[in-house]
Chain A
Amino acid sequence: MPIAWEEDQEMESRSRGNDEIRQSWSLKMLGTTVILAFRAINRHKLRSFLTTLGIIIGVAAVVTMVTLGNGATAAVRQQISSLGANVLQLRPGQGFGRGGGGPRPPDFKPADLTAIENQLTGVRAVAPMVQSSGTAIYEGSNWSTTVYGTTAAYFEVQSWKADTGRLFMPEEEEAGKPVCIIGNTVRTNLFQGNDPVGKRIRIKGVSCQVVGALATRGQGGFGDQDDVVVMPIKFVQRRFTGDRDISQIMVAVDDAYDTSTVQTSLEELMRERRKMKPGAEDNFNVFDTKQISDTLTGTTTILTQIVAAVAAISLLVGGIGIMNIMLVSVTERTREIGIRLAIGAVAREVLMQFLVEAIVLSCLGGLIGLLLALIASVAIAPLMQVPFIFDVKVNLIAFLFSAAIGVVFGYFPARRAAALNPIDALRHE
């Protein structure tokens, strides 16, 4: 034997610092594969772009949906808090609406209102409400809207001010005079920018004088808050509802008092007034606005999650797209793989090259998707009248997910490339 194996090995380890036929995974090797991946991507720019398109769209869709959804949630929360913190809403029945079977729970009476005003401590303002709907007509314009019958206390509870004109006078309330205060949507649709104060509108067949117009509040959890005509409660009861029942009482709690304590007192008072037996379930409910806020933001969050889940499916499809193109690419580049193997690439390096290529593509797609989502969110948020909120966590998760897609869907094609036989691969046409 001309050259002894050990001698050769010793020579090698002296000159190169390691045995050249045993190679451990190193950072250097990773660096090499990253260089090769970028070169391969650069060589096929259009194809690379098309490959990542699925990821780009998927990431952009998910992040845009979640960002806008978060904005919507924030908007709902903010608008509900604009209803006035520390407001209790007293309604007949249990929970929202008057659902369920059985006899309809009775509305409230004027005496209930007086009792709350006089017997409950920690109350800043109490406003009774009845609600009706009808079409408001002014000259040639008409507008279908909601009619609230209430008192001036309503505006105090809601912290809602007149933009022009005034609120109700005590004598107008007392006598139930045909006067009204209109919300901004009604004002815009009936008066088109003209001053509404002093004009007479017809609503549900009766004529009433506009004494004021309210400041705009925008979209709320309950729809357009400005689409409203407010009239003295006695007028609405007399002309529209036909009795003296009150369908809802709003109680503004004094800042110095605890809302839940006042809520408990209110509940006790109402049980007493409604002569309810101990142990019987309340046939009315008291809502803290915070509770409504939580309910509504919960709903928007769920909706956001559903939409995001649908968008996430497109991300998955994007991943399959990457796998598809990578498989085609492996077949098309069989000869190239053969060259690399002949030159001395080990299977692991070929595997890593294709895997890194897939990961780089999906990461680039992820980054472009995030950028598009940013642009889309900034552009769409004002149209939806929701604030733009940049959430680092959402962006980071979406990016990491796109990288993970590269790993998962790049592995199979990469393994196929690495398993090629160099002789066959070189012969491949």
Chain B
Amino acid sequence: MATPPSGDPIISLRGVTKVYGSGPTAFQALKGIDLDIAQGDFVAVMGPSGSGKSTTMNILGCLDVPSAGEFLFKGRHVERLDRDQRALLRRRYFGFVFQGFNLLSRTTALENVELPLLYRGEDKKTRYDSGMAALDKVGLKDWWDHTPAELSGGQQQRVAIARAIVTQPDVLLADEPTGNLDSERSVEIMELLTDLNRNSGITVLMVTHEPDMAAFARTIVHFKDGVVESIEQGVKA
């Protein structure tokens, strides 16, 4: 079942820079990033604060655009797309998991998971079926009618993962997904991400501070001072 990373990169960054502000107060967060990410890879992004890893993740998630350079997603120049086009690209190809879960409060797990499908204009039955299937995948089928307040942190993150995968995205972006969880829950989440990567063929990009978590990845990219410092490949076969 395992889908090995194919040769063609799904994501390519070429000479990507990012400058915040202008004039003497300008801050260069990225100083020319070149990075290829293969389809089906599981990449952990590491680096100290201010190293540019969050900025890179925002660009990779089509939430932000580079100041200069190229960002090719499936051969498409994302840096040339406007705001709404990037939103539609996210809707179609990306799933997001955040450190703080970012579920809608007072909203059931199922409604949270259905949300991306709603924006894709899926009908009620499709939303329900896909939503329940995604919840089943993260082991929370029986919790579908619980609101975030009624769920533990680990459960909330699993609902967030279900929301990210319900559209069967090509890429899952996880920003410190275990940052708010204890080690036991963290391992559960990592095992879930690994399973999605191996058995559903989803390319996973994950920012983390913890080497234990990064150890689940195939590739580890180290950032330092706005450049890619090193890339370890084949960490885990």
* Least distance between B195 CB and chain A CB atoms (Å): 22
> Which residue of the partner chain A has the closest CB to B55?
A423
Does B83 lie within 8 Å of A344, measured CB to CB? no
Q: Mark A24-49, 1 if CB is under 8 A from B, else 0.
A: 00101100100110010001100000
Does A1 lie within 8 Å of B84, measured CB to CB? no
- Cβ contact of A343, chosen from B83, B107, B116, cutoff 8 A: B116
Does A346 lie within 8 Å of B74, measured CB to CB? no
- Cβ contact of A2, chosen from B9, B63, B88, B105, cutoff 8 A: B9
Does A344 lie within 8 Å of B88, measured CB to CB? yes
> Which residue of the partner chain A has the closest CB to B77?
A5
Query: Across the interface, which residues of B come within 8 angstroms of A21, CB to CB?
Result: 81, 85, 88-89, 92
Cβ of A4 within 8 Å of any chain B Cβ, yes or no, is: yes
Does B76 lie within 8 Å of A5, measured CB to CB? yes
Cβ of B98 within 8 Å of any chain A Cβ, yes or no, is: yes
> Which residue of the partner chain B has the closest CB to A16?
B92
* Least distance between A8 CB and chain B CB atoms (Å): 6
Provided the pairs A343-B90, A346-B84 are in contact, do residues A29 and B107 lie with their beta carbons within 8 angstroms? no
Cβ of B104 within 8 Å of any chain A Cβ, yes or no, is: yes
Query: Across the interface, which residues of B come within 8 angstroms of A344, CB to CB?
Result: 87-92, 94, 116, 119-120
Q: Is the interface of A mostly helix, strand, loop or mixed?
A: helix
- Cβ contact of A346, chosen from B58, B87, B115, cutoff 8 A: B87
- Cβ contact of B121, chosen from A2, A28, A342, cutoff 8 A: A28
Cβ of B102 within 8 Å of any chain A Cβ, yes or no, is: yes
Cβ of A341 within 8 Å of any chain B Cβ, yes or no, is: yes
Cβ of B118 within 8 Å of any chain A Cβ, yes or no, is: yes
Cβ of B75 within 8 Å of any chain A Cβ, yes or no, is: yes
Q: How far is the CA of A426 from the CA of B89 in the complex (A)?
A: 18
A195-244 residues with Cβ-Cβ distance < 8 A to B are: none
In this complex, how many residues of chain A approach chain B with their Cβ under 8 Å: the count is 36
In this complex, how many residues of chain B approach chain A with their Cβ under 8 Å: the count is 37
Interface stretch, picked from A82-90, A167-175, A332-340, is: A332-340
* Least distance between A73 CB and chain B CB atoms (Å): 49
- Cβ contact of A3, chosen from B8, B90, B105, B106, cutoff 8 A: B8
Query: Across the interface, which residues of B come within 8 angstroms of A3, CB to CB?
Result: 8, 74-75
Cβ of B111 within 8 Å of any chain A Cβ, yes or no, is: yes
Cβ of A380 within 8 Å of any chain B Cβ, yes or no, is: no
Provided the pairs A36-B118, A344-B91 are in contact, do residues A339 and B74 lie with their beta carbons within 8 angstroms? no
Query: Across the interface, which residues of A come within 8 angstroms of B96, CB to CB?
Result: 342-343
> Which residue of the partner chain B has the closest CB to A336?
B104
> Which residue of the partner chain B has the closest CB to A422?
B63
Cβ of B61 within 8 Å of any chain A Cβ, yes or no, is: yes
Cβ of A348 within 8 Å of any chain B Cβ, yes or no, is: yes
Cβ of A139 within 8 Å of any chain B Cβ, yes or no, is: no
> Which residue of the partner chain A has the closest CB to B111?
A39
> Which residue of the partner chain B has the closest CB to A348?
B84
Query: Across the interface, which residues of B come within 8 angstroms of A357, CB to CB?
Result: none
Does B121 lie within 8 Å of A349, measured CB to CB? no
* Least distance between A12 CB and chain B CB atoms (Å): 8
Q: How far is the CA of A132 from the CA of B124 in the complex (A)?
A: 80
Q: How far is the CA of A348 from the CA of B85 in the complex (A)?
A: 12
Query: Across the interface, which residues of B come within 8 angstroms of A341, CB to CB?
Result: 87
Query: Across the interface, which residues of A come within 8 angstroms of B94, CB to CB?
Result: 344
Q: How far is the CA of A255 from the CA of B102 in the complex (A)?
A: 83
B87-132 residues with Cβ-Cβ distance < 8 A to A are: 87-92, 94, 96, 98, 102-107, 111, 115-116, 118-121
Q: How far is the CA of A21 from the CA of B73 in the complex (A)?
A: 13
Q: Mark A10-22, 1 if CB is under 8 A from B, else 0.
A: 0000000000111
Q: How far is the CA of A282 from the CA of B58 in the complex (A)?
A: 91
Q: How far is the CA of A20 from the CA of B87 in the complex (A)?
A: 10
Cβ of A194 within 8 Å of any chain B Cβ, yes or no, is: no
Cβ of B64 within 8 Å of any chain A Cβ, yes or no, is: yes
Does B107 lie within 8 Å of A39, measured CB to CB? yes
Cβ of A394 within 8 Å of any chain B Cβ, yes or no, is: no
Cβ of A23 within 8 Å of any chain B Cβ, yes or no, is: yes
Does B84 lie within 8 Å of A343, measured CB to CB? no
Query: Across the interface, which residues of A come within 8 angstroms of B92, CB to CB?
Result: 20-21, 344
Cβ of A381 within 8 Å of any chain B Cβ, yes or no, is: no
Q: How far is the CA of A131 from the CA of B29 in the complex (A)?
A: 97
Leading 3 A-B pairs by shortest Cβ distance: A344-B91, A2-B8, A346-B84
| 13 interchain pairs, CB-CB under 8 A | A1-B72, A2-B9, A3-B74, A8-B74, A8-B76, A35-B118, A43-B105, A335-B102, A342-B63, A342-B102, A344-B89, A346-B88, A426-B98
Q: A22-B85, A28-B121 are in contact. List 8 more A-B contacts (CB 8 A).
A: A2-B9, A23-B84, A26-B121, A335-B102, A343-B115, A343-B163, A344-B119, A347-B83
